[in-house]
Amino acid sequence: MLVDKYARQSRRRPEYELQTFYGQLQHIYAIRFNSALACGDFGLENDSVIILAAIKTCILDEPDAHLQKLDIRFYSSEGAVHVIDITSVQCLVGRIWDRNRWAIIDRSGCLARAEISVDDVDND
């Protein structure tokens, strides 16, 4: 996802960078908008469906240098649940319990990574 590097500095001009997040899917919500008034308020076509995902974030541990090339990350705690557009989910990964923490096994490789062009980012 694109994240403002200076989000905590309200007076600073936003500058966005691409970051990878891992989390555990909790729920999937399908919301149907069949009211012309509601669709108009959100700029949707009549009888539209929006699909959202509730994801509990994984708080990643410091990366192990010898496993970083294998796309293996570790976490030992979880954070808040965030509700996001399902299209933000790029791929599914596996996890394995290893010595009091979870190992995230990401075999998606570079094909599942989001790429953002300069034209996609509006820093104004």
Q: Which domain holds residue 26?
A: 22-119
Query: Considering the domain boundaries, does residue 11 fall inside one?
Result: no
Long-range contacts (CB closer than 8 Å, 24 or more residues apart) made by 102-107: 102/58, 102/74, 102/75, 102/76, 103/72, 103/73, 103/74, 104/22, 104/58, 104/72, 104/73, 104/74, 104/75, 105/71, 105/72, 106/22, 106/71, 106/72, 106/73, 107/71
Query: Considering the domain boundaries, does residue 60 fall inside one?
Result: yes
Query: Considering the domain boundaries, does residue 84 fall inside one?
Result: yes
- What is the total count of domains within the chain? 1
Query: Considering the domain boundaries, does residue 9 fall inside one?
Result: no
- Phi-psi region for residue 92, left (φ > 0), alpha (ψ -120 to 50) or beta? beta
Query: Considering the domain boundaries, does residue 76 fall inside one?
Result: yes
Q: What is the pLDDT of residues 7-38, one digit of tens each?
A: 899 899 999 988 888 899 999 999 888 877 77
* The pLDDT value given to residue 89: 87
- Residue pair 54/81 in contact (Cβ under 8 Å)? The answer is yes
Global confidence as pTM: 0.69
Query: What is the identity of the amino acid at 90?
Result: Q
Query: Considering the domain boundaries, does residue 63 fall inside one?
Result: yes
Query: Considering the domain boundaries, does residue 54 fall inside one?
Result: yes
d(CA 118, CA 124): 13
Query: Considering the domain boundaries, does residue 110 fall inside one?
Result: yes
Query: What is the identity of the amino acid at 89?
Result: V
* The pLDDT value given to residue 113: 57
